[in-house]
Structure 1
């Protein structure tokens, strides 16, 4: 057995590099097939000078408007082209409000502004708008008529509706003219609340078992009463993360949650007066392979098929790690029916006091009161004579007051993420369904990131595939909001610097059939008749598409590539451009039909080939081949061809890298002016130094050392370095000006500068250094 230990050690040593290699090619490193850099034509954009934080959006498709909330302004933009502004209205804080905010310790230029945070349509076609208002939130009604946005100045207190802090996460929806909001009730942000504002206002308890340091993410409503067989009520779902009260651990552990309340909840009669009687919450999990700590929810999107029941709706959620040791982000999908079942039938968690005052949360195994705690009023309750929550017995209400947490953890569909990616952190998500050429329906995920990019991804039967990544904003800034319009079929994104509008697909980015098919974009296909990559929805002809396999062998033979003529001097350098058509493709080079390999004079670049010190042997026909593997096979296509000739006259027309001197133009004139100015400055500097005596005059340079005189009084007050007496031991010790005591980071440079100055002064009799010291103790250097 002892002989086996060295063998096992060697096996681990040799298998470790293999494991690292496998990890590099794992699905966790899923990268986009195409990366599209920032260009002005990539999207329609809107930005107004001096205005920031475009992070609140309301789609008014009935008015063909995108209502955009920013810092101290609300804009009405054309829905089909947001670069066109219809109108806007300012909502700025007063000087007094700004002063009050500053006196409370907030930044007057960042915090003490009015950040628009709530924008909802009301049933009378007006809009309800709220802003942070210099840490004193306020709400108002806004109307759009005759091409003008108007604030109605019907100001309402925004506490509990809108956050105080403009950088704090919150969530809200308007449902049947009632505002449901999740934010903080106070200036310090220490009283989190889920509240319904309206005729029957109601909120959560201020208890850590209800909400414990939450970070609110999103909110949505589900019409569950519509087809309910038990007379159930509509629900409002809230997604958030919070510090786990149930965790038996030393450090704080943050977990993801989903909570829900019933639309008809009016609170209890004695217990839980004007508090939710239907507030229940459960933990959500999105298991990522290498994670030990749970991932934290950042955004959700409710996707429903209009032809299906609400039970078939899905919640897509974006998750990110809570530790800095991981750079993975994930998307998980959950069935609404699974979440609803946990709340309707699941076990509860209950706090149990252990030892002294330590509280441990365990599964409740005792009797559950009837009606069921946290349930909506349904047919069973009505049979008992309970028609509203005010009639619920105190035993049911006390139970839910103490035990709002469910025991069961909600797992995603398939028990794993739909998409995992290493790199830029995910921030927002929108999901759209499209029917492919094969008749099957595919759900395409559009994911915003911290770097201002938009990912377009599909999960094909468990295979994660990112079609493309587009840089929407010039600066690397987070996408803070992402919306989709069914009317225009466009996506709308907002960030600190502006808003952007992009289509669901840009098929024209693929110029060949192979590129179009290998993109595996369910929106796009190769039109045989038109010979271009086009939208399925706008084409009438026969299309080639293979989204699951990327089978480019279905494509007809491509037209031959016309060679480009290039020439170069002997011993010159030439770069042949060949950008790979995708991030998945590898490029190979051929010369006169023979495979090329890298050499000293042939350097393979990411976007081309570099020929160095060209000779006659380098002439010939060069071909750049793109090789890309799909699920079916490898596909090779010619990207570009070059015919290279060596011309002694150097009349090449390629991208030859020749040194060229510019003999005219504004740059030469500028250089001449700069040199002239430099000469004049140098002469002036020399004259000033001669005048001040810092430099010796030319006729004094020939004097010998012995001819120089210095009176004793001058020696005491102004020691000349070259005449200072030095012992033999002092000859090689450094000279410094003053002492630094190690407080500067430039100790070496100061010492070297002083020594250098001393050496120069050996040749000049007029240079004196004040307070020069010899260091006898080398530890003082």
Structure 2
């Protein structure tokens, strides 16, 4: 069991001890992406960037075909159909030199903080946009004419609408002309939820209790609960954030450490504050804890919502990461919440702060009427309470002291949809897609902290990750995600620029089985190719989101494949490559129609990249087929015809070429005599050098002959027939050490010889060179030359396959170094699942 899985199981055990039950294990929750798409394999991606940074504030207006982008010192208007077409418009909004100097004098960083970071950008009305920026720690806001797209001559003070610090958590909405924002506004101020651009500005209460405790805001969502409401309810704005907690159950791991918990708070849109108590303060503010049922996955990172055509069907998706208690592990969790579960928490018991114990506990006393924190409804109006200023003082006093609810907001199904180790999700976006089976599926796009997008479909109470895509070559957090249904695109904002990524790349799935097993709601098989369902008539299309294994008529996922011939010598090792495109597939090998005994057979080793047959025997000859088995389906991936020859083929016989044989024998005698003479001369030279060195050491102390050389490797053939030391005499040994064209290599310890210190001594010019051995037949190859340059692991042996192509092998000593090759390989395989259980004995 890996360390990460052990940590997750420990967390689930702690969850059970705290009363949180889960029906699935940590390994079930930790879904593996089915396919991995690296940056070099991206298709149809468009990129926009200018001479600035931090393209993190996005506003998509589908009807106008514009994607507005707020960046550092600039606002861009991009063509939403193609962000890279060059038709964009730009507003330059840099902080003035005076404000930058003032920012420096405050001790801020002139490389990151003393700029104008645009943090807010939304539609104000039919003609204008509203934007706010940090402006070098002196926030400003501006109303921008959308048609002219230029800054106004007059700016508004932004200290109550936008944070000073560009790194501070912040969220904002414009609802019916009112600006609802949440952050730390002023320099060293407390966190606050405020309403501006309204005839009744409001904020949260600070005394005698702080309603917000060191809060970091993540998102805000408008839920129009007044529409078709049977009780005449009001629209509400929900805020999601993380804050320090005071509940008695929050310090499970460390009694001395203050825990941080996720919260959801709400206010009513029609709230106008109290008349005498809570003047210019919210009278409807309430907050509750948001749990994901894995202890201390409490750092809320992102929220996205779907309403499904009506507010009553609203769901929230939330991404969490581990809090400070888990410093040795990186992991994320994704939970789903319904609007009804949020309402249930706000309709339950209150909590009260106990001064003596300095903590919050359940309040069991009397509750005044109308219910504190609720919006004005028809029931309230019938009793004469037409606005929040009509509420009695007892209700307002109760609200001041009881903003926290006792009930927690629980996730749908009582457990996370996903717990992913070694990943830090930074952003979420969700789309609802109607599949061919008539059901609607939620598709999640989850951005990571190192520049990847995980695309997943929610099936029942779990998540199937369709693919992981590396959208940025340089590691950087995904900071914004916006979905365009009209363009069928996902817009990704990050520090370096904006990406427009297709919602689906159906052409990647080359066969029916690939298309069906992907379980991508955007794609379906039409009998010839996998194509997008939005651009094709649904007649004749095949798709299976629920089980992912039905709809293909062929018995094998791919038709007949061309056979590849492999011929090797008895005793050689042969590798039959089989590239699995899916991280969820299992390799199954068939030998002459029967499944190859991969386990329990020492000479047959099945790995993620192929079948390795060691010490081949004539009975190993036959037809080998490789299948990828996934969800009960088998897809044919490779087919080989292997022939094992009993002995090394020889060249022309001595009888057919007597003159050549006699000439070769004469040449060999001359070569041996010359070699003996050269060795005698070399011994004399070495004796003279050693005598000279010993004299120098006596006179000058220590002396080092030559420069130290780093350890390297010497590449020789894997084949046992290429070097048969100990089996033949010196003549055959020198003959067999030449490179054969089958491309077999093995790695043995040693030092790579250089040109200056080559161990091969030149023979005298008068001596003719040794005759080369007869070449092997072209089909004598053990398959090692058929794979790309990757580090392969075959259950117990690790092989480095260099320059694996069908053409003649070129020595890697003349290209990249062995260390560079290893680095490239390991980086490429970083996000690829190699084997289910790593063999610790492998080298």
Change in 2 beyond 3 A, CA 1:161/1:465 = same
Kept after mapping to 1: 8 A contact 2:493/2:499: yes
Where does residue 374 of structure 2 map in the other structure? 375
How far apart are the structure 1 equivalents of 2:214 and 2:354? 21
> Secondary structure of the residue that 1:134 maps to in structure 2?
coil
Could you state the TM-score of these two structures normalised by the residue count of structure 1?
0.74
Q: Choose the corresponding residue for 2:542, options 534, 541, 544.
A: 544
1:260-315 C-alpha deviation (Å, 9 max, x unpaired): 11111121222212111111111111113xx3x35332211121122xx4222111
Q: Which residue number in structure 1 is paired with residue 284 of structure 2?
A: 278
Q: Deviations over 1:471-503 (max 9, x none)?
A: 222123221111122332322121222222223
Equivalent pair of 1:287/1:295 in contact (CA under 8 Å): no
Q: How does 1:629-644 map to 2 (within 5 A)?
A: 630=631, 634-643=632-641
1:264 match: secondary structure: coil
What CA distance in whole angstroms lies between the structure 2 residues aligned with 1:298 and 1:126? 31
Alpha-carbon distance change, 589 to 533 in structure 1, aligned in 2, over 3 angstroms: farther
Cross-structure match for 1:557: 555
Is the contact between residue 604 and residue 612 of structure 2 (CA under 8 Å) also seen in structure 1? yes
Separation in structure 1 between the aligned mates of residue 290 and residue 535 of structure 2, nearest angstrom: 37
Checking the alignment, whether the CA contact within 8 Å between 1:36 and 1:468 is kept in structure 2 is yes
Does residue 1:301 correspond to 2:280, yes or no? no
SS of corresponding position for 2:358: strand
CA change 1:160–1:578 in 2 (3 A) is farther
Over residues 162-187 of structure 1, what are the superposed CA-to-partner deviations in whole Å (9 max), with x where a residue is unaligned?
12111111111111121111011222
User: Structure 1, unaligned stretches of length 5 or more?
Assistant: 1-15, 651-696, 709-719, 723-781
Structure 1 counterpart SS, 2:27: coil
Contact 1:303 1:315 in 2 (8 A): yes
Instruction: Give 3-state SS (helix, strand or coil) of 1:99's partner.
Output: helix
Aligned to 1:385: 384
Counterpart mapping for 1:583-602 below 5 A: 583-593=583-593, 595=596, 597=598
Is 1:579 aligned to 2:582, yes or no? no
Task: Give me the whole-angstrom Cα distance separating, in 1, the residues matched to 2:388 and 2:153.
Answer: 36
**2:345 corresponds to:** 342
Query: What is the distance in 2 between the residues matched to 1:114 and 1:536?
Result: 41
Structure 1 window deviating more from structure 2 (552-561 vs 207-216): it is 552-561
CA RMSD, Structure 1 to Structure 2 (Å): 3.3
Describe how 1:120-519 pairs up with structure 2 within 5 A: 120-145=122-147, 149-188=149-188, 190-199=189-198, 200-207=200-207, 209-247=210-248, 249=251, 250-288=256-294, 291=295, 293=296, 295-306=298-309, 309-322=310-323, 323-324=325-326, 325-343=328-346, 345-354=347-356, 358-519=357-518
Q: Quote the residue 1:33 is aligned against.
A: 34
Quote the Cα distance in structure 1 between the aligned partners of 2:496 and 2:575.
38
Contact 1:57 1:68 in 2 (8 A): yes
- Give the Cα separation in 2 of the matches to 1:255 and 1:524: 39
Local SS of the residue matching 1:543: coil
Match of 2:521, SS? coil
> Could you tell me how far apart the structure 1 residues matched to 2:230 and 2:381 are?
14
Instruction: Report the Cα distance in structure 1 between the residues aligned to 2:457 and 2:161, rounded to whole angstroms.
Output: 36
Note if contact 1:160-1:182 (Cα within 8 Å) is conserved in structure 2.
no
Deviation of 1:645 after TM superposition, in Å, equals 6.6
Deviation at 1:375, TM superposition (A): 1.9
Q: Secondary structure at the match of 1:26?
A: helix
- Please report how far the alpha carbon of residue 424 of structure 1 lies from its aligned counterpart in structure 2 after TM superposition: 0.9
2:58 aligns with: 57
Query: 1:546 offset after TM fit, Å?
Result: 2.2
Distance 1:281 1:274 in 2: 19
- Residues matched between the structures, number: 628
SS where residue 252 of structure 1 aligns?
coil
Structure 2 residue corresponding to 1:90, chosen from 79, 92, 95: 92
- Contact 1:73–1:91, Cα closer than 8 Å, also in 2: yes
CA shift in 2, pair 1:451/1:701, >3 Å: closer
Give the Cα–Cα distance (whole angstroms) in 1 for the partners of residues 614 and 496 of structure 2.
45
Q: Distance in 2 between matches of 1:703 and 1:246?
A: 83
Contact 1:453 1:472 in 2 (8 A): yes
**CA–CA separation in structure 2 for the residues paired with 1:156 and 1:97:** 15
CA 1:596–1:590 in structure 2 vs 1: closer, same or farther (change >3 Å)? farther
In structure 2, C-alpha distance between the alignment counterparts of 1:702 and 1:297, rounded to whole Å: 72
Taking the aligned partners of 1:703 and 1:32, their CA distance within structure 2 comes to: 68
TM-score (norm 2): 0.69
Secondary structure, counterpart of 1:544 in structure 2: coil
Aligned-partner SS, 1:405: coil
Cα separation, 2, equivalents of 1:543 and 1:699: 87
